[in-house]
């Protein structure tokens, strides 16, 4: 049985049929903030934000106390502080977050080898084969929550269901620090009253499109004739949402992920118009991408440039190479050529990013020819120097600038990049 409190939170409180619900979605509660509160217990119960404060800093995580003011992750910090002026802002300690993530994922893997890590703070588990040792899915979920809290001091929320989609929705309904089991034969009873935004793939634009044709709940989508849904959304999205609205999700828990792209991007604290400055940042980003590719043993055949203008309009340009590469100079040359097409006439640039796509193993076959042989050898030599003396020991001359000429910016891995 389950109960729903005054908010939208819904948790399982008693015996429930979990015989056909082998999929768990475990999501840590306000993970970055929770790790910080282990070091600063005096801040418990207060609105706390983790993120950057300078210029165009963004919120990486918000405590539940801060969320009551309408603050959420990825929001500009300036807006967050307008909504919650009393918020306490902490800079992120990503080394700590990675360590706690490792400890949590180890707990999961001690229960079942079928763990699909979605990000640093959430994962799917298939516990079909764990019942003999650890009990039913609901019992396993309960034990996991207890172990995580006892061994790390952190809390998590768990959804238990027959499919990945329903399990993920269930964990979000159980937050914070709760567990919700959705029996297989009550899946539609659980899903259909929910708003259409609960469906995977429904963002703001798709939600507006659904609302325009009178679809406000998951049940409304399920009842819509397929041809009418196709006319509104197109065949691919209509088919996907139609299946999800009926609780159909055939995806298995996958323990390994194939990397689809590797990228980095930077948001400037003020808009840039100087093409030379933009090219220097592009060279730095290209080097970051190439280093990660070489460490992962990958090469890529497509280079993608991403630009966001001062008016928040975002564009991308892709260029496909004759042969795949892991060389920063080649990545930079292609991205720089695309930049020349998009950033002329004093365009104001807020963000620039570069990523490599169509990845494959660098050892998956000899190239017909290697146009970057000399650059490749030089960059691998730099990798060796870096391994001994750290990043920055050797760098392109164009990136060595006096402090007065440095651009203030917030750099991060491309959120579309799969290799984290």
CB neighbourhood size of 144 (10 A): 23
CATH architecture of 261-413: 2-Layer Sandwich (3.30)
Model confidence, pTM: 0.67
Report CA dihedral (383, 388, 390, 396) to the nearest 10 degrees: -40
d(CA 64, CA 175): 10
Topology alike, domains 18-182 and 192-245: no
Assigned CATH class of 192-245: mainly alpha
Would you write out the chain's pLDDT as a tens digit for each of its 420 residues?
A: 555 554 578 999 889 999 999 999 999 999 999 999 999 999 999 999 998 776 567 898 999 999 999 998 888 898 999 999 999 999 888 889 999 999 999 999 999 999 999 889 999 999 999 988 899 999 999 999 999 999 999 999 999 999 999 999 999 999 999 999 999 999 999 999 999 999 988 888 889 989 999 999 999 999 999 999 998 888 889 999 999 999 999 999 988 766 678 999 898 888 899 999 999 999 999 999 998 888 878 889 999 999 998 888 888 999 988 888 999 999 999 999 999 888 766 789 999 999 999 888 876 544 444 556 656 666 666 656 555 545 454 455 445 454 444 455 565 666 555 543
Domain 18-182: top CATH class? alpha beta
Binding-site positions for Mg(2+) read: 27, 121
Residues involved in catalysis: 122
In the chain, domain spans: 18-182, 192-245, 261-413
Rg of the chain over all Cα atoms, to the nearest angstrom = 24
Phi, psi values for residue 49, rounded to 5°? -120, 145
Dump the DSSP string for 95-158. Answer: HHHHHHHHHHHHHHHHH-S-EEEEETTEEEEE-GGGHHHH-SHHHHHHHHHHHHHHHHS--EEE
E-assigned strand segments in 250-380? 261-272, 298-309, 314-325, 349-361
Q: What is the DSSP letter of 182?
A: -
Residue 285 in contact with residue 352, Cβ under 8 Å? yes
Q: Annotated binding site: which residue ranges? A: 27, 121
Q: What is the DSSP string of 346-371?
A: T--EEEEEEEEEEEEETTSS--S--T
Structure tokens that stand for 215 in this block? 């679809």
């Amino acid at each position: 049985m389950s109960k729903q409190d005054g908010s939208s939170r819904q948790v399982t409180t008693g015996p429930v049929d979990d015989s056909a619900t082998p999929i768990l979605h475990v999501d840590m509660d306000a993970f970055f903030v929770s790790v910080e509160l282990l070091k600063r217990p005096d801040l418990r119960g207060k609105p706390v934000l983790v993120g950057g404060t300078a210029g165009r800093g963004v919120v990486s995580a918000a405590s539940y106390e801060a969320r009551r003011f309408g603050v959420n992750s990825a929001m500009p910090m300036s807006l967050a502080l307008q909504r919650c002026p009393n918020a306490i802002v902490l800079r992120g300690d990503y080394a700590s977050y990675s360590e706690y993530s490792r400890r949590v994922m180890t707990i999961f893997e001690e229960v079942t080898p079928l763990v699909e890590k979605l990000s640093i703070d959430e994962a799917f588990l298939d516990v079909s084969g764990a019942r003999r040792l650890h009990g039913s899915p609901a019992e396993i979920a309960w034990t996991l929550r207890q172990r995580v809290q006892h061994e790390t001091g952190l809390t998590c929320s768990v959804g238990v269901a027959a499919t990945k989609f329903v399990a993920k929705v269930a964990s979000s309904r159980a937050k914070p620090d709760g567990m919700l089991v959705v029996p297989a034969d009550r899946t539609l009873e659980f899903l259909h009253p929910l708003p259409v935004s609960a469906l995977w793939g429904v963002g703001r634009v798709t939600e507006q499109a659904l609302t325009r044709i009178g679809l406000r709940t998951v049940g409304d989508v399920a009842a819509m004739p397929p041809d009418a849904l196709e006319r509104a959304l197109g065949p691919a999205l209509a088919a996907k949402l139609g299946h999800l609205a009926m609780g159909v999700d055939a995806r298995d828990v996958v323990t390994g992920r194939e990397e689809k792209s590797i990228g980095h991007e930077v948001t400037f604290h003020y808009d840039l118009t100087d093409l030379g400055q933009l090219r220097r940042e592009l060279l730095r980003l290209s080097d970051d991408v190439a280093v990660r590719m070489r460490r992962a043993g990958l090469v890529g055949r497509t280079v993608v440039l991403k630009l966001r203008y001062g008016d928040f309009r975002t564009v991308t340009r892709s260029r496909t190479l004759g042969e795949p590469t892991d060389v920063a100079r080649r990545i930079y040359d292609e991205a720089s050529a695309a930049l020349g097409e998009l950033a002329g006439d004093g365009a104001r640039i807020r963000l620039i990013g570069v990523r490599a796509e169509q990845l494959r193993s660098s050892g998956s076959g000899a190239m017909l020819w290697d146009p970057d042989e000399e650059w490749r050898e030089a960059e691998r030599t730099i990798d060796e120097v870096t391994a001994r003396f750290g990043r920055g020991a050797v760098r392109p001359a164009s990136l060595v600038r006096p402090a007065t000429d440095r651009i203030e910016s917030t750099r991060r891995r491309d959120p579309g990049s799969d290799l984290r």
